Structure 1
Amino acid sequence: MKRLLTSLGYRAVAAGLRIPDFAAARAFHQQARTMQLIRTLDINLVLDVGANRGFWSQHLRMSGYRGQIVSFEPIAGNTGAIEAKRKGDPCWLAMRCALGAEDGAADFNVVLSGAADETVLSSFLAIRNQNARTTIEQVEVKRLESLWPLLSGLVPDPRIFLKMDTQGFDPQVIAGAGAVLDHVRLLQSEISVEPLYDGMTHYTDALLGYEALGFRLMDLFVVNRTADGGVLEYDCLMARP
């Protein structure tokens, strides 16, 4: 059967037929790979930075992770959605703040998109799409290292999965992590091939930076593509022992 399917697949390619590319299948593959690494590295504390409305952490729970989660999200409406999702889950906390290189407050560009006014494109950086509907909120910014006294008390011997989806601000999150990075075993970062925002780090520079910290690339997952099929962004999964 495997040989037959392989033969049919190559014949379809040779005939120029379009092979179905299901978004749901890609998402499940990424989730399965992520869970495999969480188990292998014995992760017991997940930091969901740029949590938006909490779907990523909710899916992590649905995939079998039962350890501690802390979601960081600066937009008030989104933190309300996270609170609703984590209700009854004592091992999932939510903090209404952004993470960055310095403690303080900063202007945050809230970008509304789609009929449901999604805010997934919101960022501290200016979006290059001039037609984007943008408002500005001042939000609290905390260094991850400043929160370590709280976070380190949540689990014994923290083994951290640092997931970042901050629309170009991931390097600032790392800059404020300090000694907390010593406890990070698994890292996910959204890296940009073609920048959506002013001042975004190029994906090759981002990968080199993470490698310099001792992380090894485990997988790349396409997040978005251009109209002609080029890659806009990847999620990179990186690990270290």
Structure 2
Amino acid sequence: MTVFTAKARKLVDILAVPVWRGALRRQGVAAGVEHAGVLRNMGSVRTVVDIGANRGQFALVARHCFADARIVSFEPLSGPAARWRAVFASDVSATLVEAALGPQAGEAQVHVSGRDDSSSLLPIGVRQSVLFPGTEEVGIATVRVLRLADALQTVDIIAPALLKLDVQGFELQALAGCEEMLDHFDWVYAECSFQELYTGQSLADEVIAWLRERGLRLVGVYHMTYDARGQAVQADLLFGR
């Protein structure tokens, strides 16, 4: 499937769902329709914690698949956070926390990408810019960092629960910020890299090992991308208990 064909197919899928169509038309937010099949196969999910929410692309699909779930999204950058709030203004079961997740509460600097969904608390590497043109650093922003327990209590996480991460190389640090509450999640769905795209990032095998030690095994690999040499670059990994 060519890039053009994939984009056309995604647009068709978005236009088929009124809420997604409205988010695209009014706020310019394209639902992450590629995740819908993965989420539907989970069955019932009552709590979604969405770390690295950006404008709400994933949360839109989560709401479509889990109509009655509580969604708690985390997004540290003010611009995407404002767009998320506009998209979910009428959804009383969706909440945004304007912060990143990390091992310690405080403040940190985000390396802002030319495409803000590629921004990271880690420096943007040369490999990222080569493979994904337009994602070079364009600025620095100071953001709030929390641990998950600073924002939620265990009683807020009603099972079955899904923890999603899209944090551009910061996966292990974000997971460390969730560790004391990790036992309350049935699923973890995380974008992970097989090559270093962000300076000092942990790669997929390290994330897999870390979660396996905590009772979550790899059960699915989706949306794999490859470089020109045919080597794996990144994928969405699903972990379950």
Q: Does the alignment reach a TM-score above 0.5?
A: yes
Q: 2:61 aligns with which of 59, 62, 74?
A: 59
| Aligned equivalents of 1:58, 1:71: Cα separation in 2 | 11
- The one-letter code sitting in structure 2 at the alignment partner of 1:36 is N
| Conservation of the 8 A alpha-carbon contact between 1:109 and 1:136 | yes
Cα 1:225–1:148 change in 2 (3 A) is same
* CA drift at 1:230: 2.4
Identity %: 28
RMSD: 2.3
C-alpha deviations, 1:15-57, integer Å up to 9, x for none? xxxx7796448x76742232221x2xx4211011000111111
* 2:171 aligned partner: 170
* CA drift at 1:125: 0.6
Partner secondary structure for residue 36 of structure 2: helix
* 1:197 aligned partner: 198
* 1:6 aligned partner: none
After superposing the two structures, state which structure 1 stretch, 71-80 or 227-236, moved more.
227-236
| Aligned equivalents of 1:28, 1:125: Cα separation in 2 | 27
* 1:124 aligned partner: 121
Q: 2:138 aligns with which of 112, 120, 134?
A: 134
* CA drift at 1:121: 1.0
| Conservation of the 8 A alpha-carbon contact between 1:73 and 1:98 | yes
* 1:8 aligned partner: none
Cα 1:208–1:178 change in 2 (3 A) is closer
- The one-letter code sitting in structure 1 at the alignment partner of 2:120 is S
Query: Who wins on radius of gyration, i.e. which is larger?
Result: 1
Cα 1:211–1:81 change in 2 (3 A) is same
Partner secondary structure for residue 121 of structure 2: coil
* 1:68 aligned partner: 70
Cα 1:47–1:170 change in 2 (3 A) is same
| Aligned equivalents of 2:168, 2:118: Cα separation in 1 | 7
5+ long unaligned stretches in structure 2: 11-31
| Aligned equivalents of 2:227, 2:74: Cα separation in 1 | 29
| Aligned equivalents of 2:35, 2:156: Cα separation in 1 | 27
5+ long unaligned stretches in structure 1: 1-18, 113-117
C-alpha deviations, 1:142-163, integer Å up to 9, x for none? 00122233xx4546x4432000
